[in-house]
Amino acid sequence: MEYLSGNSLRLHMDEKFSQRYVFESKWTINTIILPTCNALAQAHSENIYHRDLKPDNIMFTTSARSEIKITDWGLGKDINHESLALTAAIGGQIGGTPGYCSPEQWFGFDGNIIDCRTDIFSLGIIFYEMITGMRPPAYNDNIKRRAVNPPSKYYPTISKKLDRCILWMIELKPENRFQSIWDLIFEIETLPDYYS
């Protein structure tokens, strides 16, 4: 296996958050979010979905932390070659990491196809966490959660357009999220935060 000397985004986040630091929007977008979107776009074009995106699975290739790779495709799903009927792991759940996993994946609803919108949800949680230092409220067994504050509530320099983008990514219902990774890439590339 390739050696990635930069360690995980999780370690970097924990180190920075312990110093009360949150990540600047432009760096976050250009170093983490867009490269992750581009990696997912390649996978999604082959109908392969990661299904366990979290900071632990985003690795920096070097200590300069200027390039990332997505790791741990162990829950990855190729819908062309795998049955859509997934076996429940525990109590109806089908895998994924609490705090990052989409509701439709976590609860394994009958008839729900796990697709690109699951990865978009997880990436949205990472995005929110990086620029605020906290994760949005978790959903409960009834697929409800407390109101999610827009990131700009904590950091007013964040644009309203970025607020809207991230909140769309983490909508609880898949149909209310971006419907493809390409739609998300287009939206991100038009954000003022991407350039400023």
What letter represents residue 43's amino acid? A
Distance separating alpha carbons of residues 123 and 186, to the nearest angstrom: 15
Residue 51 lies in a domain: yes
Confidence category of residue 87, pLDDT binned at 50, 70, 90: very low
Q: How many domains does the chain have?
A: 1
pLDDT digits (tens, 9 = 90+) for 29-51: 999 999 999 999 999 999 999 99
- Residue 83's pLDDT band, with cuts at 50, 70 and 90, is very low
73 band by pLDDT with thresholds 50, 70 and 90: confident
Q: Is residue 152 part of a domain?
A: yes
Check if the beta carbon of residue 77 is closer than 8 Å to that of residue 49: yes
Radius of gyration of the chain (CA): 16
For residue range 96-128, list pLDDT tens digits in order.
889 999 999 988 865 567 899 999 999 999 999
Question: What are the catalytic residues?
Answer: 52
**pLDDT for 4:** 75
Range of the domain at 165: 9-73+83-189
Two tokens at 175? 């149909």
Q: In this structure, is residue 196 part of a structural domain? A: no
Q: Is residue 24 part of a domain?
A: yes
Residue 196 has pLDDT above 80, yes or no: no
Residue 26 lies in a domain: yes
CATH number at residue 22: 1.10.510.10
pLDDT per position as a tens digit, 183-193: 999 999 999 88
Residues 131-166: tens digit of each pLDDT = 999 999 999 999 999 999 999 999 999 999 999 999
Q: What is the 3-state secondary structure (H, E, C) of 160-186?
A: HHHHHHHHHHCCCCHHHCCCCHHHHHH
Quick one: pLDDT at residue 88?
Answer: 40
The answer as to whether 160 is a domain residue is: yes
